[in-house]
Amino acid sequence: MAPLLFDRRCRVIVGKPSASFNVLEPDAVEIDGLRVQLKIVKTGSKEPNTAEVSVWNLSADTRARVQAKGSKLVVVAGYKDIQRQVFIGDVRTVDHVRDGAAWVTKFQAGDGERAFRYARVGESFSGGTDAASIAQRLVDLLGVDGGNAIARVRRAARTFTQGYAAHGTVQGELSRLLDGLGLTWSIQDGRLQVLGPQESIPGGSIEVSETTGLVGSPEHGSPTEAGQPAVLKVKMLLQPEIVPGRTFALVAEGARGGYVAGRVEHAGDTAGGEWYTTVEATPLGA
């Protein structure tokens, strides 16, 4: 176990979004030092990532403040010496329930969910419009940080000589556009992430081994789809830097080499018990 992976910590921030992407208003509620349970699921698909977070013993005033509609939820987790944001998303529900003498506040949230569910488009583009210009318009209507989307679409160098029509949900039209370019997209912490086949996100590879928090032995599973590479399931002490599309170097008995993270789940309780990241990954370049 790495020396830094002790003394688990988790902060929860709830507030209205500001005019800037992924920034909350100054009066946001910051919760620190209380018991927190979390389950965060992230994938590389377009469906919003999700978070279920429970916090114990908020005051009556704080319980009222976090109930405001249109709020975002930010979760920062890790250890005393290293903490990172593991989630930001739109609050779906806030429920306050009794647990003996304590109050437990339960949040459910989705990453970019309001934009995904409700943003719509009804526009036509003239002949000669390039795919990057159409993608830019869809990103603007979606209302999330564009991330690498425009730069990645521009690399596809596609122009629609006969014009292009986009009518319906923005997420549906963005999928149609990118599918035609052989690209996939997702929203990761409020930012668009667009990748091509066998691509990974920049940032370097993370080592996953017994000395850095690997738990047990990796498990070999079946491909998620016919013709796709087999999935490797890897469990480790909570690692905030593992996200869908990130590469990691696995050093374990029976499984060594480079892998790309697909589905990532962070789950734990600051009061004890589990505090793990579980990753479903495929071999790098497969």
Q: Reduced to 3 states, what is the DSSP secondary structure of residue 132?
A: helix
Q: What's the pLDDT tens digit per position in 184-200? A: 999 999 999 999 988 99
Contacting residues for 169 by C-beta, under 8 A, at least 6 apart: 119, 120, 121
Q: Please give the Cα distance from 277 to 264 (Å, whole number).
A: 7
- Please check whether the domain covering 206-283 is classified as CATH 3.40.1350: no
Q: What per-residue confidence (pLDDT) applies to 4?
A: 56
Query: Is 1's pLDDT higher than 60?
Result: no
Residues 107-151: tens digit of each pLDDT: 999 999 999 999 999 999 999 999 999 999 999 999 899 999 999
pLDDT at 208 over 80: yes
The answer to whether the pTM exceeds 0.75 is yes
CB 185 within 8 A of CB 177: no
Specify the pLDDT at position 133.
Answer: 97
Task: Give residue-wise pLDDT tens across range 146-178.
Answer: 999 999 999 999 999 999 999 999 999 999 999
Let me know how long the chain is: 286
Q: Are strands 129-130 and 82-99 parallel, antiparallel or unpaired?
A: unpaired
Q: What is the pLDDT of residue 3?
A: 45
Condensed to tens digits (0 to 9), the pLDDT of residues 30-89 reads 999 999 999 999 999 999 999 999 999 999 999 999 999 999 999 999 998 889 999 999
pLDDT in tens, 213-263: 999 999 987 766 666 778 999 999 999 999 999 999 999 987 889 999 999
Mean pLDDT of 87-92: 96
What is the Cα–Cα distance from 172 to 178, expressed in whole angstroms? 10
Query: 210 φ, ψ to 5°?
Result: -60, -35
Q: For residue 2, is pLDDT > 60?
A: no
Q: Does 94 have pLDDT greater than 80?
A: yes
Read off the pLDDT of residues 257-286 as tens digits, 9 standing for 90 and up: 999 999 999 999 999 889 999 999 999 876
Residue 78 vs residues 10, 41, 135, 269: alpha-carbon distances, Å = 7, 16, 35, 11
| Beta-bridge partners for 115 | none
Residue range 8-112, CATH number = 2.40.10
Residue 5 has pLDDT above 80, yes or no: no
Which of the four pLDDT bands, split at 50, 70 and 90, describes residue 18? confident
